[in-house]
Amino acid sequence: MKNLNYIISLFLLSHISCKDKVVMHLNFDDIITEQGNYNYVFYDEVYQSSITIKIKVSKIENSGNVFAVADLYNKTLYQTSIFTTFNNFSKWGIYFDKVTGNVWFYTSDLENRILLKYGRNEDGGVEYKEIEYKGNIEMPQYLKNWLEE
């Protein structure tokens, strides 16, 4: 019965009609390359709990795209500035690392590479710290392959 409720919930979540596209990622080896809402669930080994992370990519009218990362309860954990948008005509992508919980962002128009390092604050809440990477941090292989395409 519990599995049936889970399947029905997934079906309803994937078929909700709204303005933004909602995607429940079950295959983690994907790079986000279009606007929409993306939900990821991964297992935090240290706290031994499942964590839901939401990534939303939005277009700002007459400008470019921005993205934000939130927790299950829509608490914003990271948000790009509206003054440093990225456009659809450049190569850009967001990759969620299912093992570490880190979020990787790349855009060619700004030559911007950001690693959002997953961690916990003093209260045990989820937090992300922004780190700009140039080549000094080992990227996941899937992301490396995508960047070389």
SS3 5: helix
Residue 144 has pLDDT above 80, yes or no: yes
What's the half-sphere exposure (Cβ side, CA atoms, 13 Å) at 129?
Answer: 5
* Rounded-to-integer distance, Cα 89 and Cα 34, Å: 11
Please state which of the ranges 22-31, 38-47, 114-123 shows the lowest mean pLDDT.
Answer: 22-31
pLDDT greater than 60 at residue 128: yes
Q: What is the pLDDT of residue 130?
A: 94
> Is the overall model pTM greater than 0.85, yes or no?
no
Q: Between these two residues, 136 and 6, which has the higher pLDDT value?
A: 136
pLDDT of 8 higher than 80: no
* Residue 144: its H or E element: helix 141-148
Spatial distance between the Cα atoms of 127 and 103, rounded to a whole number of angstroms: 12
Give the pLDDT band (50/70/90) at residue 112: confident
